[in-house]
């Protein structure tokens, strides 16, 4: 069993498991899709993945256009973009999952998979983002600083590179890294 923490709440002592297992790849996580259906990341086994925390009211929101273009260009070669809406920065993703889905599809013609809104920093960080920022790969570790942070994942579910928000999805270094993994 993983580490235990003792909590004292209302006169009752609780033993809480902090970590029941150590993830070995992103494939160990299941999150609800934007439509609320549990969707295992293992369903993307064998694909090159670009994981992005997104927001609808951010200065970087126009990156949806380049993200969708990348997805369209490379999806037949085993590439997928996964969007994770998050409202951690400046309240820039205030909508419901339904509102986010409608916005993405009508404003940016997004067809790549979107997940339900998550938290990517703070005490309520979703386990996937805890893994991405702390455990996946020391070279990409560190807190998420803003919306549209991108994690590139190889065909084995291993996080191999991180691109900060100002790096556009169609920047040469991103495209080159994706193409290198698709070979």
Which CATH number characterizes residue 95's domain? 3.40.30.10
The answer to whether residue 143 is domain-embedded is yes
pLDDT at 19: 45
The answer to whether residue 17 is domain-embedded is no
Residue 86 · residue 120 · CB < 8 Å: yes
Question: Does the structure show a pLDDT above 50 at 145?
Answer: yes
The answer to whether residue 6 is domain-embedded is no
The answer to whether residue 72 is domain-embedded is yes
> Residue 71 gets which letter from DSSP?
H
Compute CA distances 119 → 48, 176, 179, whole Å. Answer: 23, 29, 30
pLDDT at 10: 54
pTM for the full predicted model: 0.88
The answer to whether residue 3 is domain-embedded is no
Residue 111 · residue 31 · CB < 8 Å: no
Q: Give me the active site residues, please.
A: 58
Percent of the chain's residues with pLDDT above 70: 89
Mean pLDDT score of the chain: 91
Question: Does the structure show a pLDDT above 60 at 38?
Answer: yes
Question: Does the structure show a pLDDT above 50 at 45?
Answer: yes
- With CA atoms as reference, report the closest residue to 120 among 138, 103, 101, 133: 133
Task: Cite the DSSP H helix spans in 18-164.
Answer: 63-74, 97-108, 127-130
The first and second tokens of residue 177, run together, are 């890294």
Please compute the mean of the pLDDT values over residues 75-102 and round it to a whole number: 97
The answer to whether residue 144 is domain-embedded is yes
Confidence of residue 2 (pLDDT cuts 50, 70, 90): very low
Number of separate domains in the chain: 1
The answer to whether residue 2 is domain-embedded is no
Q: Residue 28: which domain range?
A: 23-182
User: How many Å is the maximal CA-CA distance in the chain?
Assistant: 59
pLDDT at 22: 74
Q: Which residue has tokens 């809406």?
A: 85
Residue 155 · residue 49 · CB < 8 Å: no
């Amino acid at each position: 069993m993983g580490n235990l923490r003792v909590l004292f709440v209302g006169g009752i002592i609780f033993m809480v498991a902090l970590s029941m297992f150590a993830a070995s790849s992103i494939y160990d996580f299941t999150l609800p899709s934007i439509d609320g259906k549990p969707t295992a990341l293992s369903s993307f086994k064998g694909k090159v993945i670009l994981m992005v925390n997104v927001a609808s009211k951010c200065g970087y929101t126009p990156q949806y256009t380049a993200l969708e273009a990348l997805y369209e260009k490379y999806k037949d070669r085993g590439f997928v973009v996964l969007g994770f809406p998050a409202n951690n920065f400046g309240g820039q993703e205030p909508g419901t999952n339904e509102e986010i889905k409608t916005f993405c599809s009508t404003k940016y013609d997004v067809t790549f998979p979107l997940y339900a809104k998550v938290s990517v920093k703070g005490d309520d960080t979703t386990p996937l983002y805890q893994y991405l920022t702390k455990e996946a790969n020391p070279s990409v570790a560190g807190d998420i600083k803003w919306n549209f942070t991108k994690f590139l994942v190889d065909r084995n579910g291993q996080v191999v590179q991180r691109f900060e928000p100002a790096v556009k999805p169609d920047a040469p270094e991103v495209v080159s890294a994706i193409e290198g993994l698709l070979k």
